[in-house]
Amino acid sequence: MLVERVFTAGRSVRVRARACGSSAACPGCGAVSRRVHSRYERRLLDTAAGSREVMICLSVRRFFCLDPGCAKVTFAEQVAGLTSAHARRSLGLTAVLQAIALTAGGRAGARLSGRLAAG
């Protein structure tokens, strides 16, 4: 991942970045592809910096799966340690919220995690 720009926008910190690998492995069959289908931007909430919400604006690519027997025709690249398929939160924020849920539980955990996830 390459961080292109970090800036503040109101009460949040925005990180503009892009995935920079030359290829990606298909999650369906494991075949490695370099053939890019398209690009799009993902927005991920990340753990707060001080009292500011952190939003990662990540440019990712969709690749063609080159295995004709694979059920997936295209797939999106994932950034190891940061993203997972269809997620709107970083893996770090997800881990923090899960720890709160396991430790605090109930209504107190819901209130605290709601404040952290919303910024």
pLDDT tens per residue across span 32-58 = 999 999 999 999 999 888 888 999 999
- Return the structure tokens found at 17: 């970045």
- Give the Cα-Cα-Cα angle 93, 94, 97 (nearest 5 degrees): 85
Contact 54, 13 (CB under 8 A): yes
Q: What is the pTM of this model?
A: 0.78
Q: What is the pLDDT of residues 96-113, one digit of tens each?
A: 888 877 777 777 777 777
pLDDT in tens, 19-30: 988 899 999 999
